[in-house]
Amino acid sequence: MKPVSPAPALPSLQARLIARGLRRLIKPRRLQPADIPMLRSLTLALTRAGIPRNLRLERINSPRGEWLWPENPRQPARRGRALLYLHGGGYICGAPRSHRALTTRLAQTLNIPVFALDYRLAPEHPFPAALDDAEAAWQWLLHRHALRADRIYLAGDSAGGGLALALLLRLKQKALPMPAAAALFSPWADLAMSGASYRENIQHCAWFMPAQVRLAARLYAGAMAMSDPFLSPLHGDLHGLPPLILHVSDSELLRDDTLALADKARQAGVMVQCKEWHGLPHAWPNFVGLMPEADLCLAETCKALATI
């Protein structure tokens, strides 16, 4: 895997404006469990995106989610390839619909079908519900769609990135086939919040305060220890994982989740591409089409995946 290009030195005007809006709309909220329905509605309202003409949407009931099928007669989709996408949202909000800007861009650029899983959310469905749903979706892709594991990509952002890592650890534990590679955007890999960035970036992070992250972790983890590897994959054995493509911003609370993950994975012999961007909001690829850094991040990710 070739090294990635350096990140732009300064955030774009669009990135700065979006970060300013997040600081005013999301970060000041003192999140309580009773606020979760409002947060879910707000997330869907902020991230609403349509389906491009060259993609076909197919909703699936079991496993619950949606397929995005490329339909470009001049450029037939790459046969036998697919991508499983796990959305972010702190395990308490988010849905395939809230991440369509990102998933449709992946489907268009890679020219392969993308299945976005609508896994169960906490607090109604705490751990291991999301992980069980991810494993079921993986098995469904292999057996119902007769896809080869090494021709499927795995991707996710934030909690979805952490869930993707947890899925890899479970597949390894059960000696099941692994995907070709995993692309993770600001993955939440450490619910124990042990990295220094949870203290150093309190003022810099546009999205969260530590208390908000801690509440989401508690609602998902339930009685489980936060350091359990299937909750916090950073604390797991990373030997034998497929190639990882990682993106994170230096201003995030979750910065050290990614940087520590990259270091530990390399030490375990995993092929890793890790790019640290400057001054961008958490999981910024969700703003594709609105922020040039999001467009560039997804373009680089798709280029890297296409070589695997």
- Residues forming the active site: 158, 252, 282
For residues 115 and 186, the answer to whether their CB atoms sit within 8 Å is no
Distance CA(103)–CA(112), nearest Å, equals: 11
What are the DSSP calls for 48-86, one per residue?
Answer: -----TTEEEEEEETTEEEEEEE--TTS---TT-EEEEE
Q: Which single residue is written with the structure tokens 């869930």? A: 163
Select from 276, 236, 254, 282 the least CA-distant residue to 193: 254
Name beta bridge partners: 246: 184, 274
Query: How many beta carbons lie within 10 A of that of residue 48, not counting itself?
Result: 11
Distance CA(98)–CA(295), nearest Å, equals: 17
Distance CA(113)–CA(47), nearest Å, equals: 21
What are the DSSP calls for 171-204, one per residue?
Answer: HHHTTPPPPSEEEEES----TT--STHHHHTTTT
Distance CA(111)–CA(114), nearest Å, equals: 9
Largest interatomic CA distance in the chain: 53
